[in-house]
Amino acid sequence: MHRFLIALILPFAAGVPVAVAGGQPDQQPRTVRRVLQRGAPLWNNDWSKGAVFYEVFVRSFADSNGDGTGDLKGLIGKLDYLNTGDPATTTDLKVDAIWLMPIFKSPSYHGYDTTDYETINPDYGSNDDFATLCQEAHRRGIKVIVDYVINHTGSDHPWFVDAASSPTAAKRDWYVWSPTDLGWRQPWNLYGGSDTWHQNLKDGQWFYGVFWAGMPDLNFRNPEVRAEIKRLAGLWLSRGADGFRLDAARHLVENGPGLLQVDQPETHAFWREFSFSVRSVKPEATLVGESWTDTPIIATYYGSTGAVPGGDELPMTFDFPLAAAVIQGVNGQDATVIGSKLAEVQSTYPAGATDAPFLTNHDQIRLATQLGNDGSKMRNAAAILLTLPGTPFMYYGEEVGLANGSSDTDDRLKRTPMPWDASAGGGFTTGSPWFPFSPGRDTANVAAETGDPSSLLSRYRLLIRARHSSAALRRGDLQILASGSGQVLSFLRTTPDERALVVHNISGSLQTAGPFGTATTVFEPVFADPGVIFSPFGTAWRVSLPARASAIWRLK
């Protein structure tokens, strides 16, 4: 017999956890503690630390059969664009890994309402196609992580179809139920957000779905749910996946209205349990969590880096505040906002944590649009991203200046087809694309930018190679330097064997930065924009940088 979530206002006010279907709030943490006491395997995923990831929306990347929808075979055909596997080639991006947005069976264009966790979306191909993708990617040195959407399923998932059929259904406890509407609002918009409880018309009772009724939340207090989620993760790891991007990482367990819907102890307990399971199955895998919130809360999702180096919860989390700071700083010609956010990360994240910086993703207005399609600003932002500590993520098309559609109200306009060339099908399809291309693709496309050494695409290629060439850029610590100007971002990246000085002018005018006091007398250029001048200044050094210019030196 299932147990309903009981609405008790007094316990909410007193901070007392409320009983939820599937068990009491403190049962899961005790279970996890017992598991960890048996000895946790450690991460063996050094490949991901400092690597460059590339986010792919398969539907919009490349179409192999002319039906207008991107697919896995199309992606396989474009792998050499991402990385040929040959260090000598210069026409590829040289990314280390790809993140595939949802590829499991789903009725929607976006795929975040999974209806079958074991099967590739037929729009994209087959399970065999996924196996081939992993083989071909791995042959080129590219790792593959997949979006794992487990906070909720689609309402058409057989689990929920069963759960909604009757209060005594076998899967009833796999979701969260109440006999009444508890009136909670979405925690990210408590006063204007949507309701999170939805009525089941078959029996009049209410189920919880924080995003909407078409995405009912799973009940992570239920050990059967937790076991199945871990089993499915192991299945895809055995099929070749190298890890997972974890959607809505803050939202697994709820203890009441408002902010009691996010960041709960039981949520952290499950991530420890899940992390342990992944490390047990494939310790070389990695995880990256989506926790769209402030830096101090993001930091908690690493868990303990003392118990497990890298973190006993998630070894990477996306840095949303830093992304916003970089765009704000580049747009406003203000390096201090970026430096301050980097300092906050340094002082807040646990020791040994790997940051996951990025500029934009599929949920945000595209970078080119936010920066007013200003090429110099886009080059600026690219240089900052690819010199930061941690593991940078790029969104497909960002490297050619792909802009949003004509409105930012529809998520599709952030996920338009990749412009490979300026032809009618854009090199994306021989048919009609599933959704119109974004404006500006006559010049913002791969073919147009490939042969142009001054293009944004060429800049990304050079910067990623520079990152790979320097151990300090890939894995080094960060020391923010006083630049003498609020419009120059300067820092040292340091490993035991190498130091690199990085300087970015984020203004539209010539800037002089420094002096930088150092005993170093040999500065080996790793990357430098035209016109950058590095010169002695007494016993120190100064740098002159043209507008929006960047430079990196290896200090010897």
Rg of the chain in Å (alpha carbons): 24
pLDDT at 407: 65
Residue 195 confidence class, pLDDT cut points 50, 70, 90: very high
Q: What's 447-461 look like in SS3?
A: HHHHCCCCCHHHHHH
Say how far apart CA 302 and CA 314 lie, in whole Å: 5
Residue 445 confidence class, pLDDT cut points 50, 70, 90: very high
Q: What amino acid positions are annotated as catalytic residues?
A: 247, 290
pLDDT single digits (tens) 507-531: 999 999 988 876 666 789 999 999 9
Cα-based distances in Å from 123 to 66, 73, 102, 349: 12, 11, 12, 40
| Span 248-274, average pLDDT | 97
Strongest mean pLDDT among 145-154, 474-483, 523-532: 145-154
pLDDT at 39: 66
| Span 458-471, average pLDDT | 98
Strongest mean pLDDT among 269-273, 403-407, 484-488: 269-273
Q: What is the dihedral of CA 310, 311, 313, 317, to 10 degrees?
A: -60
pLDDT at 406: 78
- Do 273 and 32 form a contact (C-beta atoms < 8 A)? yes
Strand pairing of 243-246 and 206-208?
A: unpaired
| Span 324-330, average pLDDT | 98
Neighbours of 16 (CB within 10 A): 12
Q: What share of the chain is helix, strand, coil (3-state, %, to 5)?
A: 30, 20, 50
For the question of whether the overall pTM of this predicted structure is more than 0.75, the answer is yes
pLDDT single digits (tens) 272-314: 999 999 999 999 999 999 999 999 999 999 999 999 999 999 9
CA atoms within 13 A on the CB side of 226: 24
| Span 150-168, average pLDDT | 98
Q: Across the chain, what does the average pLDDT equal?
A: 91
Say how far apart CA 10 and CA 13 lie, in whole Å: 5
pLDDT at 38: 56
Please determine, for residue 5, whether its predicted confidence score (pLDDT) is greater than 80.
Answer: no
Please determine, for residue 338, whether its predicted confidence score (pLDDT) is greater than 50.
Answer: yes
Going across the sheet that includes 177-178, the strands are: 177-178, 206-208, 197-199
pLDDT at 22: 31
pLDDT at 539: 63
Please determine, for residue 233, whether its predicted confidence score (pLDDT) is greater than 80.
Answer: yes
Percent of the chain with pLDDT over 70: 91
Structural domains in the chain, CATH included, are 476-555 (2.60.40.1180)
Please determine, for residue 204, whether its predicted confidence score (pLDDT) is greater than 70.
Answer: yes
The answer to which of 40-44, 77-81, 320-324, 398-402 has the lowest mean pLDDT is 40-44
Say how far apart CA 338 and CA 341 lie, in whole Å: 5
pLDDT at 417: 97
Cα–chain center distance at 501: 27
Strand pairing of 143-148 and 97-100?
A: parallel
What tokens were used for 39?
């000895």
Q: Which residues of 511-541 are buried (b: 16+ CB within 10 A; e: fewer)?
A: bbbbbbeeeeeebeebbbbeebebeeeeeeb
Angle, vertex CA 11, rays to CA 10 and CA 14, nearest 5: 90
pLDDT at 412: 86
| Span 504-508, average pLDDT | 97
pLDDT at 9: 25
- Coil vs helix vs strand at 379: helix
Helices marked H in 16-157: 27-37, 72-77, 79-82, 127-139
